[in-house]
Amino acid sequence: MIKAFLSIVAKELLDFLRSWGLVVVVLYSFTVDVYIAGSGMQIEPKNVSVGYVDYTGGGISQKILFHLHEPEFVAPKRFLSQKQLSEAIFNKEIMVGIVFDQDFEKNYRKHKKATIDVLLDATAASQSFITLSYLQNIVLNFSKLNIPIDIDIHKLFNPNSDERYFMALVELLSVVTMLSILLPAVVFVREKEEGTWDIMLLMPVDPKIVILAKSLSQIIIIMAGVVITVGLVLFGTFNIPMNGPFFAFLLLTFFYAFTSAGIGLFIASVSEGMMQTAQLSMLIMMPLIFLSGAWTPVYAMHPILEKLSLLSPLRYYIEGCESIFFRGTSFIDLWQYFAGVLVLGSVLYWYGFRKIGKLF
Amino acid sequence: MAYLEVNKVTVLYKGNKIGIKEASFEANEGDIIGFIGADGTGKSSLMHAIAGVVKFEGEIIFDKYAYHSPKEAEKIKKHMGFMPQGLGLILYNTLTVEEHLNFFASIRNLIMDKNFKAYKQKLLHMAGLSRFTEREAGHLSGGMKQKLSLICALIHKPKLLLLDEPTTGVDPLSRLELWEILDSIRKEEGTIVIVSTAYMQEASKMDKLLLFEDNGIIARGSSKELINTVRGNTYEKTPCESEDCLELYDTTYSLKPLKSKHKEPTLEGLFFVSALKNRKKLPEISVSQRKEPLDIPPIVMEAKQLTKKFGSFVANDRIDIKLKRNEILGLFGANGAGKTTFIKMLLGLYPIDSGELTLLSQPIRSGRDRQKLKSKIGYVSQHFALYKNMSVRENLIYFANIHQIPTHETLKRIERYAEELGFSDYLDAMPKDLPLGINQRFSIAAAIIHEPVVLFLDEPTSGVDVIARYQLWQLLRLLKEKWGISILITTHYMSEAEYCDRVVLLKDGKKVADDTVENFYKKHPNANNFEEIFLEYYKEAN
C-alpha cells in the first residue's frame, strides 16, 4: 500500500511540474501576486490633483495652498470660476477643488468664522477622505486653537504603520486558500477530462489511499509555494518581522491546506470539467474570504455576518498567522486558532472525502 | 475542364505540422469521390481546404472559379454543403426534424415556396424521416441523426457536397440508406459528392477512390482498378521466405512471385503492399509464454439479465452474455447500441440497475467483491486514455507500481513488452507524440502489465489504420493462445467479427444475435461477409 501511495504522490508531482501552464500560475500567485498586493495598495494620497478658485485676491489663501505639495499633491491649478472647476472635476482632471469666496480673507482677519468650500470627487472614497483630513490638518494649524490636549502615539507590532505588512500577508493567505481549493480539485477533474478517470477507478488500490495521496501531493506543492513566498516576498522584499515560532506557521498552513482541500474535493466531485471547477471555486471562495476579515475587519461587519465569520476557516488562519508574525504569540497560546482550523478542517475534509469517495 | 479541380493543395497547421501535402484530383458532375485512409492521414484537412474553412496553399477551381484562400472561397459557399465528422454535430438537440430543415433553409435564404416544400418532403421521404418530423433531434437514434444531418446539408441543393466520415459508427442498415440518398441525389441533381470513410466495404459504391497515407494520396482509381493493382501480390496463406513479404491472418502479400495460389485481393491489401513497397518494417509482434500456468474457471464472466437505465432511456435491456475461458468475444453494434455501457457495468464503472453478474466465479454484489478482482482484470478504454504528461516508460512504471509489482520485475516486463509489441523506440516519448497504432499497443501493454486473466477492450480499433488494426488482432490472438486468457472487445467495424471466436450483436440496448463465427456463416449461407450477416439482423429487427 505504501508503494502505491508514494507512486501516486510522485506521479501527481511529476504531472504538475510538467504542466507548465499550471506551474506558471502557481508561481505567479505565490510571488508577483503577493508582491503586487503588498506594494500596490495605495490608501495614502499620492499625486492628488488640486484645483482652486480664488475670489479673495491672494494672501491667506495662497499660504494655505502652499502647504499642498509633492508627493501627496501636484501643484494646485487655478481656475477662474467655480463653474470651470466643477467641469474639471467632472472630467476627472481634478480630484479636489477648493473655493475661497470673497469674504474668506475678510472674515479671517476679523476672527469671524471663515469658510472654505471644498469639492471632492468621492469616487475614490478613501483617497478623497484622507485628502480631506490632510486639508483639515493644514487649516487647523492656521486656526491656532488652544486645546490643552496632546496625543502621544505608540504604534505596536507595526511601528511604521506599514500597510504592506498586513496586505502582503493577507494576500498570501488568500492565495493559499485559492490554490488549496483549486489544485486538489484539478487533479481529480483532469482525470475526468482526459478520460483516465475510469483507469484510476480500476486500480487495485483502496480509494481512500488514492484520495489521500492525491490531496497530499497538492498540499506538498502549496507548502513549497508558501516557503518561497515567505522567503522571497515577505522576508526578502517587505522585511516583515517573524516574532513567533515559524514551525507553528507551517503547521497551521498544513492543516489549513487540508481544510480547503476538502472543499476542493467537494468541487471535484460535482464538476465535470475545468471550467466548472474554476467557476465553483470562485463561487465558494469569495464568501469564505469575505467572511474571514481579510477585506473588512470582523468587528466592522453586520452582526449576522460577524457570527457567520466564525464558520470561515480562513478567519482562524488569518488571525493565527497575524499573531505568529506580528504579535509573536507563543505556540501554546495559539491553541484557539489551531482548534478553529482543525475543527472546521476535519468536518470539511471528511465531507469532501466522502463526496468524492462515492464516485469510486 | 473538370467541374472541380484541386491542384497541389497543401495544408499546414501550427508548428508546420502537415495536414495534407500537394494533393491534386479532379471531379465531374455527378461523381462520388471517396477519401479512404486512417485517422490523421489528411482526409479531413483536404476536405476542410476544399470547403474553404482552413488556409491552404495551391489552387482549387470550382465551376471555373479559382480560389486560393478561405476568403476567396466565400463566393462559392452557397453552392456547397459540408457535414463535419461526428454524429449529429450540426444538429440542435431541442429542435425537431421539421424545424431543422426550416432553420437550415432560412440561414441559406431559400424561398419557402411550393417547390421547396415538395423538395423537403422528398428529402424527408428518402431519409425515412417523414413519420418523425415532430421529433426532437436529441431523441433520434444515431443513424437517424446522421440521415437528418445529411438532408440538412442537401436542403439548398448544393453542387458540391463534402461529407467527412458520415457513416462512422452508424448501423449497417442506416449506412445503406445513406448511400441510397447520395446515389439518387447525384443522379438527379448532378451533385459532386466527396465522402471520406473508414469502411473499406463502402469503396465499391464510389466512382473514384483516393487512398490516403502519410498525409498524401498514394493511389487513385475505381475500386476495381485499385484492387487489380495488387492482384499479383496477393496469395493464399504461405510462410514468408524473403524480406518483401508479409504473412497475415489468412493471406500472404509478397512483392516477389510465390509458388502458392493467388487469392482474390481486397482493398486492404493495397495498404499492406504499399507498406511493403515503402520498405516500412512492420514490427514483429510476439508474446512469450507466462511463467506460471493460470488457474482460470471455465466461465470467466457471466451476465444474466443485466439492465442499465439512464432516466427513461434503457441503455442495456436484459442482456445475457457468457465469456468462456480462452475465448475472444466480440461485442458489435453501432454507436449508441450499448456496448460501452455493458463493459462499464462489467467493470463497475456504472452501477448495475438489475440482473446478476458473476466474474471469475465470484458473484458481484458490492464494490468490495470487485476490489479483490481488480488485479485480475485488464482494461483498455476508448481513445487509449493514458497520462499525457508522462512518457511511455513512466506510464508503465506507474501502472506496475500501483499493482505492487516489484521494481526489478517491472523493468524486465517493460523491456519485454516494448520489444514484443514493437514500441521500443518510443519508450521515452510522450503519448501525444506517438502514432495512433503505437499508442494503441502501448495502452494494451499498460493493461496487461499485471498479467490479468481477462482483458476488456472498448473500441480499440476505431481511427487506427488498416495495418495497425491487423496487428492489434494478431496481438489479441497471441495473448489468447500463449496466456490462455479471455478477451472481450467492442467495435463498430462489423468486418472484424472474422477475428473473433464468438460474436454478440447489440442493437438499441438489446442483444439480437449471439453465436460462434462458424455458426453465423452456417446460418447465413448467402452472406459473403459479416457486414451482410449483420445487415440481415438489422432488416429483421425493423
Confirm or reject contact between A8 and chain B (CB < 8 A).
Answer: yes
Confirm or reject contact between A194 and chain B (CB < 8 A).
Answer: yes
What average pLDDT does this structure show over A235-263? 92
- Looking at CA atoms only, how far is residue B66 from chain A in angstroms? 42
Whose cell is 500501483? That residue is: B402
A-B contacts at Cβ under 8 angstroms? 62
- Looking at CA atoms only, how far is residue A193 from chain B in angstroms? 10
Distance (Å, whole) CA B299 – CA B296: 8
For residue B349, give the nearest of A8, A198, A203 by CB distance. A198
Distances (CA, A) of A157 to A161, A244, A326, A332: 9, 12, 5, 20
Best of B387, B390, B392, B433 to mutate (most A CBs within 10 Å, chain A) = B387
Confirm or reject contact between A206 and chain B (CB < 8 A).
Answer: yes
Q: Is the Cβ pair B371, A203 closer than 8 Å?
A: no
As annotated, the residues of chain B forming the CATH 3.40.50.300 domain(s) are: 4-213, 299-541
- Looking at CA atoms only, how far is residue A2 from chain B in angstroms? 9
Distance (Å, whole) CA A232 – CA A38: 13
Taking CA atoms, what residue in B is nearest to A207?
Answer: B371
Distance (Å, whole) CA A61 – CA A138: 12
Asked whether the beta carbons of B209 and B34 are under 8 A apart, the reply is yes
Confirm or reject contact between A196 and chain B (CB < 8 A).
Answer: yes
Q: Is the Cβ pair A196, B382 closer than 8 Å?
A: no
Taking CA atoms, what residue in A is nearest to B347?
Answer: A202
| pLDDT at residue A117, as a whole number | 86
pLDDT over 70, % of chain B: 99
Taking CA atoms, what residue in B is nearest to A206?
Answer: B371
Q: Is the Cβ pair B402, A195 closer than 8 Å?
A: no
Distances (CA, A) of A259 to A1, A217, A343, A358, B401: 25, 15, 9, 19, 29
- Looking at CA atoms only, how far is residue B447 from chain A in angstroms? 9
pLDDT over 90, % of chain B: 36
| pLDDT at residue A125, as a whole number | 74
- Looking at CA atoms only, how far is residue A227 from chain B in angstroms? 26
Taking CA atoms, what residue in A is nearest to B398?
Answer: A7
Confirm or reject contact between A204 and chain B (CB < 8 A).
Answer: yes
User: Which of B 183-242 lie inside 8 A of A, CB atoms?
Assistant: none
**To which H or E segment does residue B407 belong?**
helix B407-421
For residue B385, give the nearest of A14, A18, A199 by CB distance. A199
* CATH 3.40.50.300 holds for B299-541: yes
Whose cell is 447489440? That residue is: B506
Q: Is the Cβ pair A7, B377 closer than 8 Å?
A: no
pLDDT at A337 > cutoff 90: yes
pTM: 0.80
pLDDT at B90 > cutoff 70: yes
Asked whether the beta carbons of B283 and B422 are under 8 A apart, the reply is yes
Cis peptide bond N-terminal to B158, omega within 30: no
Taking CA atoms, what residue in B is nearest to A10?
Answer: B398
For residue A202, give the nearest of B379, B389, B398 by CB distance. B379
The band of A219, judged by pLDDT with boundaries at 50, 70 and 90, is: very high
| pLDDT at residue A146, as a whole number | 64
User: Which of these, A17, A21, A102, A89, lies nearest to A56 by C-alpha position?
Assistant: A102
Sort out which chain A residues have CB atoms less than 8 A from B404's CB and list them: 3-4, 204
Confirm or reject contact between A14 and chain B (CB < 8 A).
Answer: yes
The band of B243, judged by pLDDT with boundaries at 50, 70 and 90, is: confident
Residue ranges per domain, chain A?
A: 2-41+160-357, 50-143
| pLDDT at residue B46, as a whole number | 93
- Looking at CA atoms only, how far is residue A264 from chain B in angstroms? 21
Q: Is the Cβ pair A203, B374 closer than 8 Å?
A: yes
Asked whether the beta carbons of A215 and A182 are under 8 A apart, the reply is no
| pLDDT at residue A195, as a whole number | 83
What average pLDDT does this structure show over B335-363? 89
pLDDT digits 0-9 by tens, B461-517? 877 778 888 888 988 999 999 888 999 999 888 888 889 999 999 988 899 999 999
pLDDT at B153 > cutoff 70: yes
- For B4-213, CATH number? 3.40.50.300
- Looking at CA atoms only, how far is residue A260 from chain B in angstroms? 26
pLDDT at B374 > cutoff 90: no
CATH topology assigned to domain A50-143: abc type-2 transporter like fold (3.40.1710)
ipTM of the complex: 0.76
Count of H helices and E strands in chain A?
15, 4
Confirm or reject contact between A208 and chain B (CB < 8 A).
Answer: no
Q: Which of A292-306, B101-115, B384-398, B472-486 has the lowest mean pLDDT?
A: A292-306
What average pLDDT does this structure show over B8-18? 87
| pLDDT at residue A212, as a whole number | 94
- Looking at CA atoms only, how far is residue A183 from chain B in angstroms? 16
Most confident of A260-264, B263-267, B274-278, B425-429: A260-264
Distance (Å, whole) CA B118 – CA B341: 41
Pairing of strands B245-247, B251-254: antiparallel
Taking CA atoms, what residue in A is nearest to B386?
Answer: A196
Residues contacting residue B299 through CB under 8 Å, at least 6 positions apart: B322, B323, B324, B325, B358, B361
